Amino acid sequence: MAERIRAEIERFVRESPLNRFPDSDTPYFDAPLVGFAAAGDPLFQRYKQIIGPFHRTPEELLNGAATVIVWSLPITQSTRESNRAESVRPSLDWARTRSFGDEFIKVLRRHLVAWLEQQGYRAIAPQLDPNWQALDDPHVGPVSTWSERHAAYAAGLGTFSLNDALITTKGIAHRLGSVVTDMVVGSTPEDRPGVRDNCLFYRDGSCMACVKRCPVDALSANGHDKKRCQSYLYTTLTQELAEQYGTPIPGCGLCQTKVPCEGGIPKGK
């Protein structure tokens, strides 16, 4: 079943007209990476300590959950290149990918749930669940009741980075999605890497290119100041660009482009 699910996600990403810029046939996203985690993986229980007790397990999301399906959609090279040229604001293509590409991912989540139901299984997209909540943790800032980055790590898709994202084999510039189902697909990969193995800073203390790219000093050797970053994204940049670009949420992504991990796992020690 893993191969059928992977093939269906790949087909939808390849063929959907919603995965296209408004004025061309160019896609927002390249072919996806798809991973699977066993819903009973003890890591999901540990996330209640690591993220917070509010973070839900697959079983809490779907009674009888067996598998968490996670995909990563790499942002195309041309969009990444357009953002490399920027130093304060995102490029128009980046902003469109952030706004309209995320709408496409919502459609993909719904499509996969419906597809699984057609096969006779139950499924839920945690991010679209009415009980999903964004919360404001007084210590770390914005958090939520389901982290797709953590689900992606559990599924072996990548590892965490200094700027709080996930570095996959296709790099750090991507968007994630996930669905929980009672279909038994397979178990969590045994060769899941260490939590931060793909980031040069955590590997050997070098790099910090993302720190230099951040226009508001939200990054440092201590990590990611989520509150500062989100204020820039959702207040400053949204006020400045939403109307000009015609994108409700322009994003930023400067720390994900023009960096060694932009399009792959960086080489190093």
Of the candidates 66, 95, 214, 241, which one interacts with ligand SF4 according to CB under 6 A? 214
Count of Cβ atoms closer than 10 Å to residue 250 Cβ = 25
Of the candidates 79, 159, 163, 178, which one interacts with ligand SF4 according to CB under 6 A? 163
Q: Where do we find the tokens 């890591």?
A: 43
Verify binding: residue 213, ligand SF4, rule CB under 6 A.
yes
Verify binding: residue 261, ligand SF4, rule CB under 6 A.
yes
Verify binding: residue 199, ligand SF4, rule CB under 6 A.
yes
Alpha-carbon distance of 203 to 144, in angstroms, equals: 28
CB of 141 to ligand SF4, least distance (A): 11
Exposure string (b/e) for 77-113, b if CB count within 10 Å is 16 or more?
A: eebbebbbebeebbbbbbbbbbbbbbebbeebbebbb
Alpha-carbon distance of 213 to 20, in angstroms, equals: 28
CB of 49 to ligand SF4, least distance (A): 24
Of the candidates 1, 43, 143, 208, which one interacts with ligand SF4 according to CB under 6 A? 208
| C-alpha dist (Å) from residue 2 to 67, 116, 119, 187 | 10, 12, 13, 10
Residues 21-40 that bind ligand SF4 (CB under 6 A): none
Exposure string (b/e) for 18-36, b if CB count within 10 Å is 16 or more?
A: bbebeeeeebbbbebbbbb
Give the residue with the Cβ less far from ligand SF4, 33 or 219: 219
DSSP state of 37: E
Verify binding: residue 247, ligand SF4, rule CB under 6 A.
no
CB of 8 to ligand SF4, least distance (A): 31
List for the chain the helix, strand, coil content (%; round to 5): 40, 15, 45
Verify binding: residue 257, ligand SF4, rule CB under 6 A.
no
Q: Give the interface segment with ligand SF4, choosing from 69-77, 121-129, 160-168, 240-248 (CB under 6 A).
A: 160-168
Q: Give the interface segment with ligand SF4, choosing from 25-33, 48-56, 110-118, 204-212 (CB under 6 A).
A: 204-212
Return residues touching ligand SF4 (CB under 6 A). Answer: 161-163, 199-201, 207-210, 213-214, 216, 218-219, 229, 232, 252-255, 259-261, 266
